[in-house]
Amino acid sequence: MTISRHITGWLMAAPLALVLALFLVLPIVMVVVVSFWGATEWSIYPAFQFDNYAFLLGSEVTYRVFFNTLKYAAITWAFTLIIGFTVAYFLAFHVRSLTWQIALFLLCTIPFWTSNIIRMISWIPFLGRNGLANSALISWGVIDEPLEWLLFSDFSVILAFVHLYTLFMVVPIFNTMMRIDKSLIEAAADAGASGWQTLWHVIVPLTKPGIMIGTIFVVALVMGDFITVRFMSGSQSANVGRMIQNDIGLLQYPSASATAVILLITVLILIGTLLRFVDIRKEL
């Protein structure tokens, strides 16, 4: 009987395992293999060499681009965490009605019913030199001439990232906060804890798994995003995703694969480091 259940379990898991093997594991293996191939200006040839990695790791440009990518990820993470935690806290502890919680949560998701590109590009007429933001500031007398740094700058890139990915921080934090026993909040208040003490010593520690899940989502998405950096920086800034895109555009697939492998390893190291601080398995 036990053997039969064991075989049944494997058979039930086989379709999903096959899909993951074909559409996740196999493409990654192919990228790793191609990263060791060689390339000339007119051809790509199979080989096993470390020229692509040696060139990338020996180039100062690579380190600058990776630093820029990590900078975008860190700043975006900080803003999405602050906004996401605040929104989730309000929904979980200040909105008493379940109906209103659902309604307000759905309201937060309305912008995500459209394409990421549409939501990103919608910032351009708002932040442009003659856009709504500059026009309003000039009409109010705050500035005398349009602000050039609002668009096609790191500011616009990070603003777009925060807009695109904040919900990925709100959802796991809100889900974790809804599982917190409200009697713990009441016990902290009865023990004389202030609101800030309750927040810092009770709510934040119990919300760490949700924060960690949101962090993984945001960091992974920002580090792999290239289209946002291209449009919102006016092609004046670069990240690792843009490096890969440029290599693919030049048909330099081995170099693009090597960059993708290094990016994958970097993201996995970051995620592995985060998982050492919090056990998120109880949230899954």
CA distance 258 to 47: 13
Instruction: Quick: pLDDT tens for 70-79.
Output: 999 999 999 9
- Considering only CA atoms, which of 69, 111, 112, 105 is closest in space to residue 244? 69
Looking up residue 132, the CATH number of its domain turns out to be 1.10.3720.10
Structure tokens at 235: 């092609």
**What torsion do the CA atoms of 25, 284, 205, 273 make, to the nearest 10 degrees?**
-10
Total domains, the chain? 2
Distances (CA, A) of 176 to 17, 128, 145, 215: 29, 39, 46, 14
**In the chain, where does DSSP find H-type helix?**
2-20, 26-34, 51-57, 60-89, 98-109, 116-121, 124-127, 132-139, 154-165, 167-178, 182-190, 195-198, 204-224, 227-232, 240-249, 253-275
Distances (CA, A) of 122 to 83, 128, 233, 238: 21, 11, 14, 21
Instruction: Quick: pLDDT tens for 217-227.
Output: 999 999 988 88
Q: Are residues 127 and 258 in the same domain?
A: yes
CB 89 within 8 A of CB 203: yes
CA distance 254 to 40: 10
What is the structure's pLDDT at 4? 67
Instruction: Give mean pLDDT, residues 202-222.
Output: 91
CB 69 within 8 A of CB 240: yes
What is the structure's pLDDT at 132? 86
Q: Which residues form the domain of 98?
A: 60-283
**pLDDT at 5 > cutoff 80:** no
Q: Are residues 114 and 7 in the same domain?
A: no
Q: What is the pTM of this model?
A: 0.88
3-state secondary structure of 282: helix
Structure tokens at 85: 């935690």
Q: Are residues 158 and 117 in the same domain?
A: yes
**Domain-embedded: residue 40:** no
Q: Are residues 116 and 15 in the same domain?
A: no
**Domain-embedded: residue 46:** no
Query: Which band of pLDDT confidence, cut at 50, 70 and 90, is reported for residue 179?
Result: confident
Could you tell me which residues come within 8 angstroms of residue 76 by beta carbon, excluding any fewer than 6 positions away? Answer: 158, 161, 162, 165, 218, 222
Angle at 272 between CA 267 and CA 278, to 5 degrees: 130
Q: Are residues 84 and 220 in the same domain?
A: yes
The DSSP 8-state label assigned to residue 181 in this structure reads -
